[in-house]
């Protein structure tokens, strides 16, 4: 299994975002996790396509994993595609027509994914899994960084991994919320291959130090090497 580390820029220093993203990628991160919140689907407000485009213009070439916590979904999809998103994931309860939203993301040239909140059942995967590039399991309730990992999500991860394997699909299984060096190994053992970590990564080291993320990324990788 190839493991990927996806720092969530929600916990980055936004006054120096380009530099923060450069530093975290230089320290060995694989993907930029980009949290979009609308103060409607979730009780917080963050960043939109302009910021995604700015990161591309800044020279970021790594995959950008746009996690939409917005309702409705479809209107904003083409804007993010134009802004350089790689993955676009959305919450099924935020879209009236899930299959249509998945299709829109694919047609726009991006990789679609579905996101499941801790208490949201996985039933829609029955009819969507083969159309997806990513399944994202929330291990906290969406809206804020720095929350505690909800352990029952490990059972969900095992279920999704089973479904992916049973169908012989090449779909990434990502987890988001409360992940750090203390639990990443257990999460990987449950079948997850892509790990979002916000506060654990961006809270590390001393602000302004270009190497501040080296040791946290290395310790996440060291834990993954033990799986």
Beta bridge partners of 68: 36, 90
Q: Which of 20, 35, 174, 193 binds Zn ion (CB under 5 A)?
A: 35
Rounded CA separation 137/141 (Å): 10
Q: Give which of 226, 159, 152, 158 is closest to 3, Cα–Cα.
A: 226
Q: Using CB under 6 A as the criterion, which residues of the chain lie in contact with ligand DX5 when the complex forms?
A: 8, 10-11, 33, 35, 67, 140, 142-143, 145-147, 176-179, 196-200
Q: Which of 31, 67, 153, 164 binds Zn ion (CB under 5 A)?
A: 67
The verdict on whether 133 is a catalytic residue reads: no
Q: What is the DSSP string of 161-217?
A: HHHHHHTT---EEEEESS--TTTHHHHHHTT--EEEESHHHHTSS-TT-TTTTHHHH
91 contacts Zn ion (rule: CB under 5 A): no
Smallest separation (angstroms) from ligand DX5 to the CB of 13: 14
Q: Which is nearer to Zn ion, 144 or 214 (CB)?
A: 144
Q: Which two tokens stand for residue 115?
A: 């996101």
Annotated active-site residue in 38, 65, 133, 176: 176
Say which entry of ligand DX5, Zn ion, none residue 48 contacts (CB below 5 to 8 A, set by partner kind). none
Strands 87-90 and 111-116: parallel
Say which entry of Zn ion, ligand DX5, none residue 20 contacts (CB below 5 to 8 A, set by partner kind). none
Q: What is the CB neighbour count within 10 angstroms for residue 27?
A: 21
Say which entry of ligand DX5, Zn ion, none residue 140 contacts (CB below 5 to 8 A, set by partner kind). ligand DX5
The verdict on whether 176 is a catalytic residue reads: yes
What are the residue numbers of the active site? 35, 176
């Amino acid at each position: 299994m190839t493991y990927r580390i996806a720092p969530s820029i929600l916990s980055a220093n936004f006054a120096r975002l380009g530099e923060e993203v450069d530093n975290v990628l230089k320290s060995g991160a694989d993907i930029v996790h980009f949290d979009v919140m609308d103060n409607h689907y979730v009780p917080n407000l963050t960043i939109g396509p302009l910021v995604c485009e700015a990161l591309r213009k800044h020279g970021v070439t790594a995959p950008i994993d746009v996690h939409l916590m917005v309702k409705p979904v479809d209107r904003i999809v083409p804007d993010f595609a134009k802004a350089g998103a790689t993955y676009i994931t959305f919450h099924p309860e935020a879209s009236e027509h899930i299959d249509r939203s998945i299709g829109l993301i694919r047609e726009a040239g991006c990789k679609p994914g579905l996101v499941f909140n801790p208490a949201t059942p996985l039933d829609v995967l029955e009819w969507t899994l083969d159309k997806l590039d990513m399944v994202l399991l929330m291990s906290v309730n969406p809206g804020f960084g720095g929350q505690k990992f909800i352990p029952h999500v490990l059972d969900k991860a095992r279920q999704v991994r089973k479904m992916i394997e049973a169908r012989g699909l090449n779909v990434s299984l990502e987890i988001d919320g409360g992940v750090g060096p203390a639990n990443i190994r257990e999460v990987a053992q449950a079948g997850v291959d892509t790990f979002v970590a916000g506060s654990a990564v961006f809270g590390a080291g001393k602000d302004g130090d270009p190497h501040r993320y080296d040791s946290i990324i290395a310790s996440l990788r060291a834990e993954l090497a033990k799986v």
